[in-house]
Amino acid sequence: MKINGNAVRPGMVIEHQGRLWRAVRIQHTQPGKGGAYLQVELKDIRDGTKLNERFRSSETVERVRLDQKPYQYLYADGDMLTFMDAETYDQITVGADMVGEGQVPFLQDGMTVTIESYEDSPIGVQLPDSVVLEVTEADAVVKGQTASSSYKPAVLENGVRVMVPPHIEAGTRIVVSTADGTYMERAKG
């Protein structure tokens, strides 16, 4: 499916130079001279090589249609992750590198993920947008540091360090973005 060069979004898989690439990061750039363009960091799905490419809105790129199917996370064995098809109970094992950069610690037992495959070969694992985790350590608030947006460091139950608002204490359950590991809100209930 052809899309405009400026319609590329992070996570999309496109065909470029005869290979499959996943868009990792995008940045709109509007130079003083000339037309605007989209600076896209691409990562090769097969071998992980990276490529920086510029796409103008006048260009078209080929977006690849992927089969997406829900799977349940079972366990990790070294760098290999095992998932189960919720309908057929078939198990599939993929490398941890198929999960987005820095997202592996957010995998939880029984979590439902989306495994993308191209021509029956798995190429990526998409986690939910957010997860609920408990704060195990949180620094005390220093009096007088009440300037706007004064966040403090905290450690989550999965060992990931995250910046949280001053009112969050150890034992609090919070919602964290799996995309970049940032605090979103206090968990409800």
Tell me the two tokens of residue 28.
């709109």
The upper half-sphere exposure of residue 104, i.e. CA atoms within 13 Å in the direction of its Cβ, equals 16
Pick among 2.40.50.100, 2.40.110.10, 3.40.50.1000, 2.40.50.140: CATH of 67-126:
2.40.50.140
- CATH classification code of 130-186: 2.40.50.140
Q: Extract the tokens encoding 29.
A: 């750039």
Per-position pLDDT tens, the chain of length 189:
898 888 888 778 899 998 999 888 888 888 888 888 999 999 888 787 999 999 988 899 999 888 999 999 999 999 999 999 989 999 999 988 888 778 889 999 999 999 988 888 888 888 998 999 999 999 887 666 555 567 899 999 999 999 999 889 999 999 999 888 899 999 987
Distance (Å, whole) CA 151 – CA 164: 5
